[in-house]
Amino acid sequence: MEQDGTNPTDKPRRGAPLWAQLLIWAGLLALLVVLGLGLFRAQHPILSVGSKVPDFALKLFDGYPYQGANQVSLAALRGKVVVVNFWASWCVTCADESPVMESAWNYYQPDGQVVFLVVDYTDVDAKALQFLTTYHLTYPNGPDLGTRITPIFNRNIAMPETYIVDQQGILRAEQIGPFQSLADIRSAIDPLINGK
């Protein structure tokens, strides 16, 4: 393939300057790494059933506290089952789901073993509070300030979505779309309380 007539025993031809080569290869490697990671993130869910849920703090709406506090962190709830539900006032199916959620909260709250942490995703506070009042909802509820909590669970969220975290902070179940009935929710939560 060599056509320039160089005698192979001559000193090696000077190729591109070394610094240029290093620069190009380093740049290419960096780009491929970034692309690969981006692709990986796009195709694989960040959190899957069985993995530990990173800690987060949820600031609650006025009037919807948990045990008197208006801020809750997931880590503080170790030892209890946590139901993390995402909704927004402009999400029509969330309206359908909310009575179910409310009845489930009424069912589980007295026992204290199950905590509902409901996250309002990119919403206008006034509208959210209006929604809560309209549907007579009482569970702990707060806005996802800075949209920091939602990306932990799903980068392309389509509400409503619910994630059930067990007493050790492991994600045990995820429900994309609304729960249709109290029985549905109970079938997801009860095994965690009883089975332990």
Return residues touching other proteins (CB under 8 A).
Answer: 1-7, 10-16, 21, 24-25, 28, 31-32, 34-39, 41-43, 88-90, 122-127, 143, 145-148, 151
CB of 112 to other proteins, least distance (A): 31
Separation CA 190–CA 195 (nearest Å): 8
* Cβ(101)–Cβ(137) below 8 Å: yes
CB of 88 to other proteins, least distance (A): 7
Separation CA 21–CA 13 (nearest Å): 15
Instruction: Look up residue 75 and give its amino acid.
Output: A
Nearer to other proteins, 36 or 63 (CB): 36
Nearer to other proteins, 102 or 123 (CB): 123
Tokens of 114: 């199950």
Nearer to other proteins, 43 or 194 (CB): 43
Nearer to other proteins, 43 or 48 (CB): 43
Instruction: Give the position of tokens 């006034």.
Output: 126
CA 156, distance to chain mean position in Å, is 9
Separation CA 47–CA 53 (nearest Å): 7
Residue among 175, 169, 99, 87 at smallest CA distance from 134:
99
CB of 59 to other proteins, least distance (A): 11
Number of separate helices (H) and strands (E) present in the chain: 5, 7
Does residue 8 have a cis bond before it (omega within 30 degrees)? no
CB of 24 to other proteins, least distance (A): 6
The β-bridge relationship of strands 114-120 and 71-73 is unpaired
CB of 39 to other proteins, least distance (A): 5
CB of 145 to other proteins, least distance (A): 6
Nearer to other proteins, 123 or 161 (CB): 123
Nearer to other proteins, 22 or 183 (CB): 22
